[in-house]
Amino acid sequence: MTSGTGTCTVAFNEAGNANYDPAPEMTETTTAQKADQVITFGPLGTKNYGDAAFDIDGTASSTLPVTFGSQTGGTCTVAGNTVTIVHSGLCTVLASQAGNDNYKPAPDVAQTFGINLGPAVLWIGLRNSDDQGTQFDLRVEVYSGTTLVASGEKRCITGVTRNPALAQQVSVPLTGYATGPASVKILTRIGTTAENLKCAGPGGSHSNAVGLSLYYEATSRPSRVGDAPLYLHVNDIANTTAPVAVVAKQKDSVGVNFLGGNLWKSIGGWQQ
């Protein structure tokens, strides 16, 4: 067979010899069927919001070219074999091969991967000027209902001051993503290394502090979480509306103590 479709008729003949007459011709007809094919398209690893566009690859057993498309345009787009990240969440890419005269269409293959939230960008200051020089850690937790879906920490933050006008902007990278309404919790403690030691350098010897203030709900200091982003507002609300107030609202943590176990202490929580 030289083609994937159509019919083929084969004639069978025997010419005979000195002892036998020629045999009556016999024919058989068969219909050609297109061949099956499958796509090989492997898993795609987790990405971060803000990552550069990246190329993907897939092959068909027929050697025909594979095409790709996004099934989740809100989080990612696909042009040719290049994926561009649009938003945090879940991205699904579909690989297809339509077939031709010789091959049936291949079963589609989908791969889904997560895109981590963009960072939390927070404005902080000291509750008490006596804590000048103390280093702090910040932790951000994002929940879907009661399930922790994303979190991140920034350790050994230096240079925090008491003056609200000089509030420090801190970016906390987040790992994980939310696919629906989320709530945010922000916590602090005395600055601690990955080895659970107090941070070295200026302020590293401080073992306790009155705590931190978080500034938000102001045009000049709009504390926010993720890539949407979720802005923190009064009444413990988080939404995508940027604040317009001039004066920043403020939430305070309670005191933090390294010698007392250095527990994370809440600064506040916001619900989308």
| Residue 202 scores a pLDDT above 60 | yes
Residue 32 binned pLDDT confidence (cut-offs 50, 70, 90): confident
Structure tokens at 217: 């709900």
- Sign of the alpha-carbon dihedral angle for 214, 218, 220, 223: positive
| Residue 70 scores a pLDDT above 60 | yes
Residues 236, 271 contacting (CB under 8 angstroms)? yes
User: What pLDDT, on the 0 to 100 scale, is given for residue 149?
Assistant: 97
| Residue 200 scores a pLDDT above 70 | yes
* Interatomic CA distance for residues 103 and 101, integer angstroms: 6
216 sits in which H/E element? strand 212-216
Strands 47-48 and 109-116: parallel
CB proximity list for 158: less than 8 A, separation 6 or greater: 135, 191, 201, 202, 203
Average pLDDT, the chain: 92
Percent of the chain predicted with pLDDT > 90: 82
User: What pLDDT, on the 0 to 100 scale, is given for residue 243?
Assistant: 96
Residue 9 binned pLDDT confidence (cut-offs 50, 70, 90): confident
pTM above 0.95, yes or no: no
User: What pLDDT, on the 0 to 100 scale, is given for residue 1?
Assistant: 57
Q: Give the pLDDT mean for 79-85.
A: 98
| Residue 2 scores a pLDDT above 60 | no
Question: Angle at the Cα of 174 (from 173 to 175), degrees rounded to 5?
Answer: 130
* 3-class DSSP assignment, residue 256: strand
